[in-house]
Amino acid sequence: MTETLKHFIGGRPVAGDSGRFGDVFNPATGEVSAKLPYASTEEIDRAVATAKAASEKWGATAVPKRAAVIFKMRELMVARRDELAEALCKEHGKTKPDALGEIQRGLDVIEFAAGIPHLIKGEFNSNIGGGIDLYSIREPLGVVGGITPFNFPVMIPLWMGAMAIACGNAYLNKPSERCPSAPNMLAEMWLEAGLPEGVWNTIHGDKEAVDALLHHPDVPAISFVGSTHVGEYIYNEGCRHNKRVQAFCGAKNHMVIMPDADMDQAVDALVGAGYGSAGERCMAISVAVPVGEETSKRLVEKLTPKVQGLTLGPWNDESADINPLITRQAKERVESLIQRGVDEGADLKVDGRGATLQGYENGYFVGGTLFDQVKTDMEIYKTEIFGPVLSVMAPSSYDEAVDMINAHEYGNGVAIFTRDGDAARNFTDRVDVGMIGVNVPIPVPMAFHNFGGAKRSKFGDTQMHGPESIRFFTKMKTISSRWPSGIKDGYQLAFPTND
């Protein structure tokens, strides 16, 4: 019998009462693994009310006590990471080593959030004039919403939620309908760690649930990770309802290979960054940019057999390199874009379409795919494919490569492989991209720095985790204070100064 999942609200599992459900699939087999309730607007309203009541007490909790709960959550996650990884893998399809890496990145943010007593300190100036002291403090917002994607169902909720609750807010996570079980586990683990009931909630749903969060007057902030089309809608709609919104969206990440680069190192980096997690990462490298015809020829010669040798498999196959895509629709979309590349004249070196696996014939597999001779006007270059497809461009010069990257609508991540420090420094200065790697293919910053792209890869002014997250999840108050000391100023009508 297929399991029916629940929301997690106010410290307990809650059955959905909207009467609307969606299927959760095993991507390796194509079979339905669970039924998921889709929340109504009324259910979102109740969840927000529960979170708001909990946020008032949690926001007044001493900051060191908040940090103690976060420390305990870290202990629980370390002890139960294999269990969490398995729940993640069964619904996402990614390999267990990949899932464990995701969980570790979530742990990194938890460790950063545990430093909240230091991170949230305000500012103070004594005697700015006339015995007046001036200081600022940061306070929680109340209830904040996180709309999180299928591809990182543990990491992204922690990137948002750990920082949100560290700042004293209650957090309401609306995860992807594709991977709901791991987010539910996170909510249960936070409760076990000592977080008060109602501070961390998970509620499932589709656009109705998203719109209910965007329109709710008691949710002053929304953080989102997902596609650009949806992210732009969330940003505009949230801002229209006077919310602060950060939306981290699509990407088309390039990797420039200079003629002096270590070609073996560059090829290995491309395989890992282009095909890991089946390319379903916003930081995946999807465009290789060897500079010059000779560099391109050497790259493709070394890269082609590596891509041909990649193996498919379900999450529990320790030998698998590429896992299934998340849905049948995703598989069909990726394969149609591969055909589009062929139709537009790109040179298909390795074709991953029609991939089958014995015992998993109905799984959503697409094999590693490699295109050469891709042009900037081709759809496979302009579009974020979100699958195991790598395109090779061949600009004639370094300047042409930089101009091409800057002309693209996305600016999430980029990398350059070179032995030339001057070229690397020039590259980091000139490219209009949020995260840059020098001989590092996936330049995701550590938790104590900020994550975020540029151009249409991000909407909003703030970044994810790092110091920026404190600013996003708090509001500032500035206080001017003077205590009676017998000073008789009399009244003045001019604007006050420190003269």
Active site residues: 282
Q: What are 259's two structure tokens?
A: 């003629």
State the Cα–Cα distance between residues 77 and 155, nearest whole angstrom.
12
Number of Cβ within 10 Å of residue 409's Cβ equals 12
Closest to 157 measured CA to CA, from 465, 434, 479, 497: 465
- Rounding to the nearest 10 degrees, give the CA dihedral for residues 46, 47, 49, 51: 170
Beta-strand ranges (E) seen in 351-493 are 369-372, 389-392, 410-411, 413-417, 435-438, 454-455, 458-459, 474-481
Number of Cβ within 10 Å of residue 126's Cβ equals 9
- Write the DSSP string, 257-285: E-TTS-HHHHHHHHHHHHHGGGG-STT-E
- Rounding to the nearest 10 degrees, give the CA dihedral for residues 465, 467, 472, 473: 80
CB contact set of 237 (below 8 Å; sequence gap of 6+): 211, 214, 215
State the Cα–Cα distance between residues 471 and 370, nearest whole angstrom.
42
Q: What are 466's two structure tokens?
A: 């790092």
Matching residue, tokens 């900051």: 63
CA 427 to chain centre: 25
DSSP letter assigned to residue 185: H
State the Cα–Cα distance between residues 150 and 230, nearest whole angstrom.
14
H or E segment to which residue 184 belongs? helix 181-192
Beta-strand ranges (E) seen in 130-264 are 132-140, 143-147, 170-174, 200-202, 221-225, 244-248, 253-257
State the Cα–Cα distance between residues 234 and 240, nearest whole angstrom.
10
From the number of C-beta atoms within 10 Å of its C-beta (0-12, 13-18, 19+), residue 232 rates as middle
